[in-house]
Amino acid sequence: MAEDTDALLAVTRLLSPHCTVTRLSDGVLIADWKRTRFLGMTTADLREFTDAGSGKRGELVTGLVRAGCAASRGKRCPDASVGRWLRGVHLLIKVFGFGRVLRLLPVVAPAYARADPAPAEEVARLKRAVQSSGRGSWLVDDDCKTEAVTAFVLLRRQGLKAVLHVGVRERPFALHTWTSAAGVCIPDAAPRGHAFAPVLTIDGGGR
């Protein structure tokens, strides 16, 4: 079944390169050859990985982390470090161009099988830190591309769901970029009340 294949790929991405995952008749075998440890997972548990609304998904991942098969979720970026990320992203965009930086996202913000739902308060905290650092820097100067890409990278590196949008407004013509997570947009999706129609959406580290 397609959902079983998707689930198998999700678990494989989560455990690679720590372990190998082999399909069995009623689930998968997880092999940690370095420590000679083996774990079994049923088909029912496997399918939990493709069910974003499942409460068991987090429990399964936690169990795999405690078993040493998967890395724990990345730590949140301290507010004091957000400014450095903003300046670094801004410099990359200036040197390589916005399009090339978007193509680099799979490297700096790789697809993460967990992709836990982002807590709204965590996204709101990041938004405040991004906007405060952006407006306080003469280099960044409240640039939407820099703020959106920085937010997307930091959220994805924590293993949280985030989507980056590039939108367009026809009259007068303008482009705008923002990242959405947990119903919060960084920066605002409609600055000063001007709506932008998304023309490019990046989810899951560049796919």
Residue 111 pLDDT class (50, 70, 90 cuts): low
Average pLDDT on 29-47 reads: 81
Which carries the bigger pLDDT value, residue 97 or residue 136?
Answer: 97
Q: How many Å is the maximal CA-CA distance in the chain?
A: 63
pLDDT score, position 31 = 85
- How far, in whole angstroms, is CA 184 from its chain's centroid? 14
In sequence order, the 6+-apart residues with CB closer than 8 A to the CB of 187 are: 127, 130, 131, 142, 144, 147, 148, 178
3-class DSSP assignment, residue 20: strand
* Closest to 64 measured CA to CA, from 134, 101, 138, 13: 13
